[in-house]
Structure 1
Amino acid sequence: MNNKTELYFDFFDEIAMILVSELGLSYLEAFHKTKEIILEDDWELNLPHEEIVKITTLTKALNKETFTQEDIRLALQLLTVKAYQAMNQKLSLMTPDTVNYLFSRIINRKFSGQSLTILDINLGTSNLLQTVANHFPGDKELIGIELNPVLVQLAASWADLQNNELKIYWQDVMTPIHDLVDLEIGDLDDGIYEKTVPPSHPLATTKITYYPYLAISSQLANLKDQGYFIYLVNNDFFNQPGAQLFRNFLNNWATLLGLIVLPETMFQSEKQRKSILIGKKTILNAWDLLIFPIANLSKSQLPTLLAKLDQFTDKL
């Protein structure tokens, strides 16, 4: 954690803890109220005078500092984890920064000099999307799909605090949205989709229940022709029930270009191992999926690895 991230965390956390102590709020409730205090000048709370003075002093001190969007995002990660720990819940909904930075590297390489409309189809707290946005040098429009109301509110607060404009569709990913985008991304939940797939879904008649297959297929309609999709998927992605039916459908719309296999050391078990899947909404009949295995992410090997990753990305 860098000094600026630590400073932002400390200011934010101290305000939030005053609200927890004085108003009996949960830490998550205090998180959102602290966001309002930081961003709004005319906030009012039923607090003792000395606590109002403390909060005002902390807010002024925070706003005098200069923080990058990444300083703030990294602090928000820690604050969000603290909020979930206070509820005795484990937050496994944030994509690790190692993966976030790989996504950013690929996207910056592939879309250098362009403006982008980016859709995260599995938004969560928006950690992945915010990382991509903070590192992308061009103009971008950010869109996310999320059904969980707690995560919708968190993603909105994250975006506000980083000054990243974000349109959120509060809905199931199987429901169409009203935007066409250049790039779709997502850290896709592994497992079964337990609801009934809408009749309009392109795989509705196949009886496929594997969530990533259904999510990817559902959102292809919102991707522009020649647009790309980049998803974090489990390593057994291609071995799920209905895999061939999914591939048959996909082959009529898109091409899977590449697979970046992440190091085994990143994961506690074989079942948890993941890869980054890259595809394009175009049909390339003679294309064979390119595979880029990453053995490790040690600092000594990182420059060489990133150079090879750039070369791999250029082929896609």
Structure 2
Amino acid sequence: MEFSVERAFDLLDQSIQLIQNEERVTYLDGLALALKKFNAGVELTEPSLQEMAKMLEETEVTNEQIRKVIQLAIIKGMKGSTQQQHMITPDSIALFIGYFLQKFLKNKEEFRVFDPASGTGNLLTAVINQVEANGIGYGSEIDPTLIQIAVESANLQEQQIEFFHQDSLTPLLLEPVDFVIADLPVGYYPDDTQSLQYQLRAEEGHSYAHHLFIEQSIKYTKEGGYLLFLIPNFLFTSDQSEKLQKYLREHTHIVSLMQLPLTLFTSEKFAKSLFILQKKGQDTKPPKQALMAQLPSFKDVQATDNMLKKIDKWFKNENLE
């Protein structure tokens, strides 16, 4: 019997709905409870969870397949959410981030990666799953439901990930990492007292959370380490952007800025780009030429293939492989 992502999701969905009705909780809370039951190895009372456990035992299943089952449930739970932080990063983007991370790793056998806006852990686990080296992950998230899903999802995938349940812009018990990846939360940061700790704080009023997340991420990256951010396309045209650009020139080398296909977003105002930085260190130097591109629709296989060839050529020219 082959493992079916769709069938496994149907079973998980049935279980979540049962738990929802019994516990009177939201769908996402029901997902967290279903995964917790599953991981605890206690006797499963829901027939759908029993069948799902049997499926996992009797078929060859990969971490990536498990992630996709959970992802389908997360997408269902987030449907109609008005909060941008309750949106899931598309798999096509996660694949692209993983592709770059693999390139920067060269022949390293192990790496440490941190997502300061980890949410349900979907981006973090998607990237770790596709990189050949052994990934040790760290994630930070303030939302209790999202972090509970992230913990249970990572456990079910047997991923080595440590999560911090806290405001990501407060100090973290974390040694600097090789990589930071983040789909940056966009908006204002409400804690004006905490923002005083940041160089990128606003002179008056609330500071931009996305600016502070960039500064915090650079702080927790090793010298020579890389940061791969999904940024709003307006990042460098909004007010306070001059201060941000000055800060980035001081602390990092700009490696790449690639605009993502507009087809990935519900509206142009939510469109994003992949922004790659390297933290400056004694042995680092800026690229001869930063990689700038407008990415084609990922559905256009030929155009995407041509773009990957151009990126491969850029890596060779920069001696980064």
Q: TM-score, normalised by structure 1?
A: 0.86
Residue in structure 2 matching 1:109, options 94, 103, 107:
103
Equivalence for 1:173: 168
- Answer yes or no: is the 8 Å Cα contact 1:174–1:201 preserved in 2: no
Q: Which moved more, 1:230-239 or 1:214-223?
A: 214-223
Is residue 203 from structure 1 mapped to residue 200 from structure 2 by the alignment?
A: yes
C-alpha distance in 2, partners of 1:267/1:32?
27
- Answer yes or no: is the 8 Å Cα contact 1:117–1:142 preserved in 2: yes
What stretches of structure 2 of length at least 5 have no aligned partner?
Answer: none
Q: Which moved more, 1:4-13 or 1:135-144?
A: 4-13
Residue in structure 2 matching 1:137, options 110, 123, 132:
132
Equivalence for 1:243: 241
Secondary structure class of the residue paired with 2:236: helix
What stretches of structure 1 of length at least 5 have no aligned partner?
Answer: 45-50
Q: TM-score, normalised by structure 2?
A: 0.85
Count residues in correspondence.
307
- Cα shift readout 1:83-130 (whole Å, capped 9, x = no counterpart): 345xx6467421011111111111112213212110111111111111
Equivalent residues in 2 for 1:49-198 (5 A)? 55-85=49-79, 89=81, 92-114=86-108, 115-177=110-172, 178-196=174-192, 197-198=194-195
- Answer yes or no: is the 8 Å Cα contact 2:28–2:145 preserved in 1: no
C-alpha distance in 2, partners of 1:216/1:68?
33
Equivalence for 2:309: 307
C-alpha distance in 2, partners of 1:154/1:163?
14
**How far apart are 1:193 and its partner, in Å?**
2.1
Q: Which moved more, 1:102-111 or 1:12-21?
A: 12-21
Secondary structure class of the residue paired with 1:239: coil
**How far apart are 1:241 and its partner, in Å?**
1.4
C-alpha distance in 2, partners of 1:216/1:275?
14
- Cα shift readout 1:196-240 (whole Å, capped 9, x = no counterpart): 144332334745722222111122221111111010001111112
Change (3 A) 1:192 1:33: closer
- Answer yes or no: is the 8 Å Cα contact 1:28–1:83 preserved in 2: yes
Secondary structure class of the residue paired with 2:114: strand
**How far apart are 1:58 and its partner, in Å?**
4.5
**How far apart are 1:26 and its partner, in Å?**
4.3
C-alpha distance in 2, partners of 1:265/1:30?
31
**How far apart are 1:57 and its partner, in Å?**
4.8
Equivalent residues in 2 for 1:189-268 (5 A)? 189-196=185-192, 197-204=194-201, 206-207=203-204, 209-268=207-266
Read off the aligned partner of 2:39 and give its amino acid letter. L
C-alpha distance in 1, partners of 2:51/2:265?
43
C-alpha distance in 1, partners of 2:278/2:52?
48
Read off the aligned partner of 2:95 and give its amino acid letter. Y
Percent of aligned positions that are identical: 24
Q: Which moved more, 1:219-228 or 1:53-62?
A: 53-62
- Answer yes or no: is the 8 Å Cα contact 1:206–1:245 preserved in 2: no
Is residue 31 from structure 1 mapped to residue 31 from structure 2 by the alignment?
A: yes
Read off the aligned partner of 1:4 and give its amino acid letter. S
- Answer yes or no: is the 8 Å Cα contact 2:3–2:59 preserved in 1: no
What value does the CA root-mean-square deviation take over the aligned residues? 2.7
- Answer yes or no: is the 8 Å Cα contact 1:17–1:30 preserved in 2: yes
**How far apart are 1:82 and its partner, in Å?**
2.6
C-alpha distance in 1, partners of 2:52/2:224?
49
